[in-house]
Chains A and B, each alone.
Chain A
Amino acid sequence: MSKHTWMRVGGVALAAIASIAHAQDAYVVGVSAAMTGPSASTYAPVVDALKAYLDNVNSKGGINGKQVRLVIQDNQGEPSKAAADAKKLVAQDKVLMLINTSLSSTYAPMVSESKRANVPLYYAGAVCPAETMPPADPLQFCSTAFSASLDSQASVNFIKDSAKEPVRIGFASMAIPVARAGIEQAEVVAKSLGMTVVEKQITPPPTPDYTPFATKLKEANPNWVFSWSPWVSQVRTFEALRRLGWDGRYVTWAHINAEDELARLKDSEFYVIGTNALLVDNVPMHAEIRAVTHRANLKYPASYLTEGFITGMVVEEALRKTAWPPTPAKVLAAMNNLKVDLKGLRGGSLEWTKDNHFRTRQHYRVWKWDTAKNDVVRVRDWVAVDVKQ
């Protein structure tokens, strides 16, 4: 390398240091997310949508006259990376709020860092841990659509309500702790509702062929199967079951790509249950999502971005209630008493109180593919579930 190039590199490094040092004139929010790596497809769209949303807010003049600066770190779903990210975000970027959009294994290091610095930690698009539900941990918040125990309850209740015949239920889940906990909860609920639990299949995370697992499930001959897991595991088990000739009904969680997948599978006995409105529900906010994503030139279809938009709305509202100059303590106070109008993207507004950092009410809708209409249809409208204090 010539001397000239070295000088240029040195200049760049100096500029880097300078850019870090410049004064804080914006609300700074830090994100540690699985932007690459095996689990990226679930998490990256959320962060991309969040960024597009906040860019849009900034272009309209920001919040309280100040811009929002989003510092995104890629943790690749790895705990050690998340630990280093959290440290960097807190120590160097002096963020007001930490956002985690990654696997649950990255929670522990971020929790310990958030505790050390007293900065609120907000799970967005990552499964809600029990700590966010009442009685909530003082620092942890969650707006993600899914949470193991409530979803399992709502889904099994849905099966109970729609089944005319006695239910022989089978369960499928991925071998990760959160999903296993969800399925165990569903099993308890199912038994208490008088269903016969015939089989429980737990598949290891990536597996090249789901047929061996599905074979065992099919042989137990359930007429309903419920699965609560990452999408891969849910849909692959279903497809394998169908290929084996199983003709029962399958209920599963509506992850961000559910709408696309309903249209791909075109199976009228495949039900997805969720809390985020699909595009087919066509609320006015969807037009805005489309417009913003088009402007931001995102690669993902608009249906993937609702979760990230909800995160954006929550962040915006929390910062709006944080007077300038902001501190993590002020943001925490705002988050402890927050009500965000989600404009139809969910069944109701999202409310956080001092000891409930999840939401006070959760609303569930169910969709499936209608072969006659050749479109996704709503099977059941919002059903509200109170989150117990």
Chain B
Amino acid sequence: MPSASGYFRTHYGEDTRLLDTRTKRVCYALLVVILVALPFVASAFLLDLANQVYLAIIGAVALMLLTGYAGQISLGHAGLMAAGAFTAGILFKEVNAPFWITLPASGLVGATIGVIFGLPSLRLRGLYLAVSTLALHFIVIYAGGEYETKRGFSTGVIIAPPRIGSWTLEDPIAWYFVLGLFAAAALLFGLNLLRSRTGRAWRAIRGRETVAEALGIPVARYKLAAFVVSSMMTSVAGCLFAYYRGFVSAEAFSLFLTIQYVAMVIIGGIGSMLGAVLGAVFVVLFPYAIEALTQVLPTPAAWANAVFAINYAAFGLVMILFLLFEPQGLVGIWRRIQNYFLLWPFKQAPLSKGR
């Protein structure tokens, strides 16, 4: 987003620079400082929420690359996370593999499944593609469930916290930094990929496949690449999830999880990395916010037994309202706020409308 008051770029490199203005650099530095300080002041519950958000960001960035940039719909996100988590769980239980083996292994499994998930995309488009990934979701979950039942882990596979040397990753604050680093890495990786040839190819494919092909972009290869990259990241997120929660079970990766990730991408604002982050924050925190609100607001005594149903219904309702009144997502709101301050006090109707 260029500054409103001018367009001061002198060479092409500046177009793709991540931090282009001093204000931006200062803002991000401040953000990093706040994030580093957060775990030392937050309660254990808030810390857990923050960790959940970080986990969600990794998954949301992965899905944003695939859906928001390359334009391929996937409903297999929970299945991919399950694949990563089960890789970690099975390797841990069967051969007692350490963290530094299970993590890359689950990335590898994710990439392999990505190829399989991606192959139908060469023939299928739109909703049909979505449903083929849905079928793969059910197959991964079925396989995981069978593993659990056959090995007698009927209430889930319990995983010990990861050990690196003699140090055990168990403390929530340590987890906060580990997950934070992974989330930041995923975000940077995504952003860098997007300003490379691959990212431009994806956008072209999303824009119009035929045109992209006419421009000489090998569409099939880049589509597969999108699936592989996204699946690998998702699978790693699943592996981290398994270690963070200390268990793996097929029921933890329901279709509802996929829906949550799709909701992150759409509520955040499709086609924007900032959107993925904002969407992840929103979707993770929203149910807790509703819960806190219904707890505080005076509810009629007759409703006391129904507070959960109200929470549940409210989640659906707010999601509907969001889709109806803010189709551009949270990023849309963010840009409007940004523009308001950028243009202040010279805001005029045509200027603000033009964006």
Interface residues of A, Cβ cutoff 8 Å to B: 12-13, 15-16, 19, 35-36, 48, 51, 72, 74, 76-80, 83-84, 87-88, 90-92, 103-105, 107-109, 111-112, 129, 177-178, 180-181, 296-299
Instruction: Point out residues on B near A: beta carbons under 8 Å.
Output: 43-45, 48, 52, 148-149, 154-158, 245-247, 249-252, 254, 256-257, 292-293, 295-297, 302, 305, 308-309, 311-312
State the main secondary structure of chain A at its contact with B: helix
**Contacts A12-B297, A109-B247, A177-B154 given; does A79 touch B252 at CB 8 Å:** yes
Q: Is the CB of B308 within 8 A of A36?
A: yes
Distance in angstroms from B141 CB to nearest chain A CB is 12
| Chain B, Cβ-Cβ closest to A17 | B292
Choice from A72, A104, A107, A112 contacting B246 with Cβ under 8 Å = A112
Which of A16, A48, A108 touches B249 (beta carbons < 8 Å)? A108
Instruction: Give the tally of cross-chain contacts (CB within 8 A).
Output: 95
Q: Are B246 and A177 in contact (CB under 8 A)?
A: no
A108 touching B247, Cβ below 8 Å: yes
A177 to B154, CA, bound (A): 5
- A91–B247 Cα distance when bound, in Å, is 19
Given contacts A74-B311, A177-B155, A297-B302, is CB(A84)–CB(B52) below 8 Å? Answer: yes
Q: Which B residues are in CB contact (< 8 Å) with A177?
A: 148-149, 154-155
Residues of A within 8 A of B157 (CB): 108
In chain A, what residue has the closest Cβ to B52? A84
- For B44, the chain A residues whose CB sits under 8 A away are 87, 90-92
Name 17 A/B residue pairs within 8 A (Cβ), A-sorted.
Answer: A16-B295, A19-B296, A48-B305, A79-B156, A79-B245, A80-B257, A84-B48, A84-B52, A92-B44, A92-B45, A104-B154, A105-B250, A108-B246, A109-B246, A112-B158, A112-B245, A298-B305
Contacts of B158 in A (CB 8 A): 108, 111-112
Closest to A93 in B: B45
B30 to chain A, nearest CB (A): 22
Contacts A79-B252, A109-B156 supplied; 18 other A-B pairs, CB < 8 Å: A16-B293, A16-B295, A16-B296, A19-B296, A35-B308, A36-B311, A51-B305, A74-B308, A80-B257, A92-B44, A103-B251, A104-B154, A105-B156, A105-B249, A105-B251, A108-B249, A112-B246, A299-B305
B48-A87 in contact (CB<8A): yes
A91–B45 alpha-carbon span in the complex (Å): 6
Most buried by A among B157, B302, B309: B309
Contacts A78-B256, A109-B246 known; A87 to B251 CB distance under 8 Å?
A: no
Q: Are A78 and B252 in contact (CB under 8 A)?
A: yes
Q: How far is the CA of A238 from the CA of B70 in the complex (A)?
A: 51
Tell whether, in the assembled complex, residue B292 and residue A112 are in contact, meaning their CB atoms are under 8 Å apart. no
Name the B residues within 8 Å of A109 (CB-CB).
156, 245-247
Q: Which residue of B is nearest A15, CB measured?
A: B296
- CB pair B156 A108 closer than 8 Å: yes
State whether B305 touches A107 (Cβ < 8 A): no
B contact residues around A298 at 8 Å (CB): 305
A36-B309, A92-B43 known; A80+B154 contact, CB < 8 A: no
In the assembled complex, the CB of A32 is this many whole angstroms from the nearest CB of chain B, namely 12
- B57 CB to closest chain A CB (Å) equals 16
Is B305 a contact partner of A181 (Cβ separation < 8 A)? no
- How many angstroms from the CA of A80 to the CA of B312 in the assembled complex? 16
**A79 lies within 8 A of B295 (CB):** no
Closest chain-B Cβ to A241's Cβ sits at a distance in Å of 26
Residues of A within 8 A of B250 (CB): 105
Structural contact, A12 and B296, CB atoms closer than 8 A: yes
